[in-house]
Amino acid sequence: QKEVEQNSGPLSVPEGAIASLNCTYSDRGSQSFFWYRQYSGKSPELIMFIYSNGDKEDGRFTAQLNKASQYVSLLIRDSQPSDSATYLCAVTGGSYIPTFGRGTSLIVHP
Amino acid sequence: EPEVTQTPSHQVTQMGQEVILRCVPISNHLYFYWYRQILGQKVEFLVSFYNNEISEKSEIFDDQFSVERPDGSNFTLKIRSTKLEDSAMYFCASSGPGEHQPQHFGDGTRLSIL
């Protein structure tokens, strides 16, 4: 059974700080890694995806992948109250169907 | 920016009734999916559809469920005889072309079974 683990949180950070969200996965054959943001009662919204080891930056967001440690993270710089949401990690392996984690709740307080 | 659209946004149905949830995927996408999310729980995969047939399905997707692509744009999920535990948000998603592409989700249909 493929597992994707996330700390449910909530992770609370002050406005302007860096939020660090973490995800571990069990399938060593995993190939693609996605971060989604989900506001309460809304659908998941794709933020970033990463396929290769290392960092990938897009604006205030940086995804970090370490396949040896089976670990992917999302950094949000200059966190804003509007970033408050649940962040879902999703991983695909031999099948292109992603396995979702339960999500980490992020609260950015002014 | 192209998006996945779902109708209706909210469906209320009596237990035992049939429901059809509708989706229009992004036009150049080739892979289509249905997910559900029970309130407070994780997003769960139901079924994927490629090349006019089911490519994968989960244990949740039993004989009560079916999917169809009746024309070139719509993608539907039918639940034949709804149960109370079918109450959830149902999300349609699409991706591609190419495997391992990010999935783009619709806004979802909130299904409430009474």
Chain B CB contacts of A31 under 8 Å are 100
Where are the extended beta strands (E) located within B59-108? 65-68, 75-79, 88-95, 104-105
Q: Distance (Å) from the C-alpha of residue A78 to the closest C-alpha of chain B?
A: 25
Residue in B42, B45, B99 closest to A102 by CB: B42
pLDDT > 80? residue B2: no
Q: Could B91 and A92 be called an inter-chain contact, meaning their C-beta atoms sit closer than 8 Å?
A: no
pLDDT number for residue B99: 66
Average pLDDT of the segment spanning B6-23: 97
Residue matched to tokens 């290392």: A54
**How confident is the model over A5-33, as pLDDT tens digits?**
999 889 999 999 999 999 999 988 888 99
Among A96-100, B34-38, B61-65, B80-84, the range scoring the smallest mean pLDDT is A96-100
Which 3 state secondary structure label does DSSP give A83?
helix
Q: What six digits make up the tokens of B29?
A: 């996408």
The CA distance from A95 to A44, in Å, is 20
Residues of B with CB under 8 A from a CB of A: 31, 33, 41-45, 48, 56, 89, 91, 95, 99-108
β partners of residue A12 = A107
Q: In terms of DSSP bridges, do strands B5-7 and B19-24 run parallel, antiparallel, or are they unpaired?
A: antiparallel
**Across A94-109, average pLDDT:** 90
Local structure of residue A101 (DSSP, 8 states): P
Mean pLDDT value of segment B27-39: 93
Residues in chain A whose beta carbon is closer than 8 A to a beta carbon of chain B? 31-32, 34, 36, 42-46, 49, 51, 88, 90, 92, 95-103
- Cβ–Cβ gap B42/A49 under 8 Å: no
Q: Measured between CB atoms, which of A49, A95, A100 is closest to B42?
A: A100
